[in-house]
Structure 1
């Protein structure tokens, strides 16, 4: 599908979503989001635009747990702070483990209720965690429980292997606590019963628009906003224009092309933070990119400094390592053997027998087959189209044919899982638990749920196995740096850049969060002031 057509379809989607708003409908009566109070209901309503959306509100499916947490519906036992430390959220801070880190004991806070009024105790948490392992697929990538036991507010988790950072792992939205005693047969659409300040009122699987309302049974103080609407569009210009026109009160991750408009306008305020994210170009080794020489040539054609400085307008940090430069995991000390070197890239291809035998300007493989790479991406994050098209242009110069292929975010995630690509661009929060172990395993270790590239290194796998059981922070960091260097040496992926995340909002909006975790958007203090 041509890009122009995609943009038109997305624009129709956003229009439909906005017209369907329960604020007032489209037309001249009040205007969608033009005022942040729902005139018909006399309630405070906040409208947030985003290029990110859930495929379902069931937190145990894929990475959809991020959205019940982002939308304030659900919470986790522990929570990640801005400095990547971990504290209790639904649990007290008195959690502890035995000497070998195989038995962890938590005290669930005594004053917490689900949004339906049911008390949260150890048994409810136990059943929610068991649901992850029984009905989900990613739980065992974090830890394998031998048993989960509850006694009143006490929760005891016994694990198969030492789990020195289990509190970190339980902060992942996959483990958000939901009421499993209710009928959850329609959880995909209706959302879970959680403990957060908001309750899902509606979720449209077509437009991805989600409406949440105040949880009248919230356990942690007054909820200051009656209603929040999350409206989805992957068209970045639509998102930015919606904020300027008044359709949105706030927007997540305004593009580098538009952020300057809001920086210069006192009617808006901006929250920014370095994130744990890395924009990665995954290279599928089950096809032509199984040839390390070809991967090295692709890597050496990427002028990431220029991408970030010129095309991304200094809103991103040039990539080098898997883990963001905002954390202390080797960005300044590890060696990239495939740094930008276009002349050497050409030499590598020539010597390996990648030649243009038919004179069409593009090389064939050493076996004489056409060399053509599909580069899959989505537009929900503003840098992706830019870096993909820049990479395409760079590789064209050296005779590698690349065809960009754009889809919506969920489709790209599905393609990543199945390996339906040659190259695939994805923004991954490697530090989603305040520690990179699990995301590294998910995307690069043999058997990882989203490792469909065929990458399998015994050295890398062994290092990550050692990380898993190490309780010493320095040792963990050293082992992870070694694993990163193996990935660099193997030419496993393109690390394009690290984004600086933002939330742009009107000056009358407070309590919207932009954090390194990237999954705490709204809470009980989110409010609209006039």
Structure 2
């Protein structure tokens, strides 16, 4: 997800999957033991995390800091090839669609067990789909990824992509969907749809999510879930801000090369760098771009990922009526000096955005130009709309660094100054990333806010569809806009187009409409984030999706 793409990202369409369905997993069963036992390496890899995990059940997770941890403990039917964004077999060894693309047969890896010793089989697969599909109440709101990608739940089956799952035999699961889409089964590589132990979920009442103020309370299971990955949770020490994982001795593949992972939560980037220098951590994500050269001079390894993301300013026309006016939204866009922000605060290779997806994604419209920085035009548009002197509540997150947003407050400060320069009164709001900010965004509590998205796979639907397809539930509140349903319907139609050239053209048209006619939010920039480790670390492969796995990492003594 970052920088000039050197590794092509492959979206496996139904046709491509028919050809590649018999591909075998690169994972080999068997335990070769831990290299740490040789005495040449430390038995612990300590990573500096930019934020605290929200929980450890990936189904309800929504943010990168949580997925960084859950990814080490859980796996799905499909996975992503290390160092790329190419989809590959994981717990499913192969898959094949019916002629109409509505029935998918998954041949499962055999001999796999969950970390509680329970077998992974077709019944377990269907139990997981049933659990996800049959969410009720607050669980439906908490399960954002299911809502984004599958549409709805069992109480509204007419809106759901998922239809049913049957265990044909122990190693064969048959999944039916309701419509052909370029995204299935690729979406099964997402962390949220990882397989978990049905026995443990039932015992832990895994679906017992309750609304609590602006957020949720989760069952005990969510803090100690059971997956099939190379690691399992040992403890989460909130007081000392550490998460400790240990090797899963029931793992079907090679045992991890380092027996223990410790995630040390250090929100401040400068503090993460100091701890790396002191040797108290072995690496961290998202080093400040101004530190890259210095980190390398100190002998560290700095891996720069391709820019496969989007930073945007979200807008909520339901909360602030003035934002329903296109002229007001255009005025805010013209007020932002994005070029200066990119040059002063983002790393080399960052770009001003013209649309809600990076240029490497099929459907990107090369004819669109970014809105120009033009304060006078912004003032004129506000005057035409009768919105001179309007007040805008504008929020940013604290205690976090994101791939598309290295320093949220500095970016917010720059844009606040720009907005005030054209007469907008800015009411500043901030909350910790996993301490209220994301909940507030989900609950429509801000007029405007800074947020972003790192792609899960290379498809326009993973960007535009994630933001705007679900008319009933999206952060931009497009349901109150006269064009909201049209945009939602057009995105669903585009995603269902089988011909790649036709689908690409449809998304190019939609991108133009979003930029010129709708402008539901303001795309800001694309930024290449980095990952840094000490020179003692080997085996860590940077992911274009910021989806690194740590089971092959070693740390020299």
State TM-score, norm by structure 1. Answer: 0.83
- 1:145 is aligned, of 162, 166, 169, to 162
Q: Pick closer, same or farther for the CA change 1:342–1:188 going to 2, 3 Å.
A: farther
Of 411, 419, 424, the residue aligned with 1:395 is 419
Matched, 1:516 2:544: yes
What is the CA–CA distance in structure 2 between the aligned matches of 1:453 and 1:45, rounded to whole Å? Answer: 45
Per-residue deviation, 1:190:
3.6
2:393 match: secondary structure: strand
The answer on 1:242 being equivalent to 2:269 is no
Name the CA distance, whole Å, in 1 between partners of 2:347 and 2:313: 20
- 1:170 corresponds to: 188
Counterparts of 2:273 and 2:305, CA distance in 1:
19
Whether the aligned pair in 1 keeps the contact of 2:47 and 2:282 (CA below 8 Å) is yes
Whether the aligned pair in 2 keeps the contact of 1:212 and 1:228 (CA below 8 Å) is yes
Q: CA deviation at 1:418?
A: 0.8
| Equivalence for 1:126 | 126
* 1:72-99 residue CA offsets vs partner (Å, 9 max, x unmatched): 100111123455432211111x311011
Indicate which of 446, 455, 468 corresponds to 2:495: 468
Tell me how far apart the structure 2 counterparts of residues 404 and 255 of structure 1 sit (CA, whole Å).
24
Deviation of the 1:379 alpha carbon: 4.7
Structure 2 CA distance for aligned equivalents of residues 205 and 475 of structure 1:
51
For 1:408 and 1:334, the matched residues in 2 are separated by: 35
Q: CA RMSD in A?
A: 2.6
TM-score between the two structures when normalised by the length of structure 2: 0.79
Of 145-154 and 68-77, more deviation after overlay is shown by: 68-77
Quote the Cα distance in structure 2 between the aligned partners of 1:403 and 1:238.
29
Contact 1:463 1:482 in 2 (8 A): no
Is residue 245 of structure 2 the alignment partner of residue 212 of structure 1? yes
CA contact (8 A) 2:393 2:429 kept: no
| Paired position in structure 2 for 1:86 | 87
CA 1:327–1:483: 2 relative to 1, 3 Å: same
In structure 2, do the counterparts of structure 1 residues 512 and 427 end up closer, same or farther at CA, with 3 Å as the change threshold?
farther
Secondary structure at 1:405 match in 2: strand
Instruction: Give yes or no for the alignment of 1:274 onto 2:292.
Output: no
Specify whether residues 149 and 181 from structure 1 end up closer, same or farther in structure 2 by C-alpha distance, changes over 3 A only: same
Q: Does 1:161 align with 2:179?
A: yes
Report what 2:534 is aligned to. 506
Q: 1:453 aligns with which of 467, 472, 477?
A: 477
Residues 102 and 176, structure 2, Cα contact 8 Å, conserved in 1: yes
Out of 507, 515, 521, the position equivalent to 1:493 is 521
Secondary structure at the aligned position of 1:471 is classed as coil
CA–CA distance in structure 2, aligned partners of residues 240 and 224 of structure 1: 25
CA distance in 2, matches of 1:177, 1:146: 18
Deviation at 1:398? 1.1
Asked if the contact 2:347/2:527 (under 8 Å) is kept, the reply is no
* Separation in 2, partners of 1:423, 1:207: 34
> d(CA) in 2 for partners of 1:440 and 1:115?
37
Q: Which residue of 1 aligns with 2:456?
A: 432
| 1:196-235 equivalent positions in 2, closer than 5 A | 196-204=229-237, 209-235=242-268
Deviation readout 1:378-406 (Å, 9 max, x if unpaired): 35122422221111111111111223322
Q: For residues 12-35 of structure 1, give each alpha carbon's deviation from its aligned partner in whole angstroms, at most 9, with x where no partner exists.
A: xxxxxxxxxxxxxxxxxxxxxxxx
Question: What's the counterpart of residue 316 of structure 1?
Answer: 350
Partner of 2:332: 298
On the 8 A contact 1:57/1:64 being kept in 2, the answer is: no
Cα gap change, 1:53 to 1:316, in 2 (>3 Å): farther
User: Does 1:408 pair with 2:432?
Assistant: yes
Partner of 2:226: 193
2:468 aligned with 1:444? yes
Matched residues in 1 for 2:178 and 2:478: separation? 27
For this pair of structures, how many residues does the alignment match? 474
Matches of 1:464 and 1:303 in 2, distance apart?
Answer: 30
Counterpart of 2:44?
A: 45
Q: CA deviation at 1:264?
A: 2.0
The answer (yes or no) to whether the contact 2:394–2:426 under 8 Å persists in 1 is: yes
The SS at the match of 1:170 is: helix
Task: Please state how far the C-alpha of 1:260 moved relative to its aligned partner.
Answer: 2.7
Preserved CA contact (<8 Å) 1:111 1:219: yes
Q: Deviations over 1:113-170 (max 9, x none)?
A: 2223333211112212221222353425423322101111111101122234312111
Aligned to 2:13: none
Q: Which of 316, 322, 328 is the aligned partner of 1:284?
A: 316
Larger deviation: 255-264 or 225-234?
255-264
Superposed, 1:340-419 pairs within 5 Å as 340-355=373-388, 363=389, 365=390, 371-381=391-401, 382-410=406-434, 411-419=436-444
For residues 314 and 403 of structure 1, do their structure 2 counterparts lie closer, same or farther at Cα, with a shift above 3 Å needed? farther
- Give the match's secondary structure for 1:466: helix
8 Å CA contact 1:329–1:481 kept in 2: the answer is yes
8 Å contact from structure 2 (residues 313, 450) kept in 1 = yes
* 1:422 equivalent in structure 2: 447
Whole-Å Cα distance in 2 between the matches of residues 179 and 385 of structure 1? 41
Q: Which has the higher contact order (CA 8 A, sep 6+)?
A: 2
Structure 1 CA distance for aligned equivalents of residues 52 and 170 of structure 2: 36
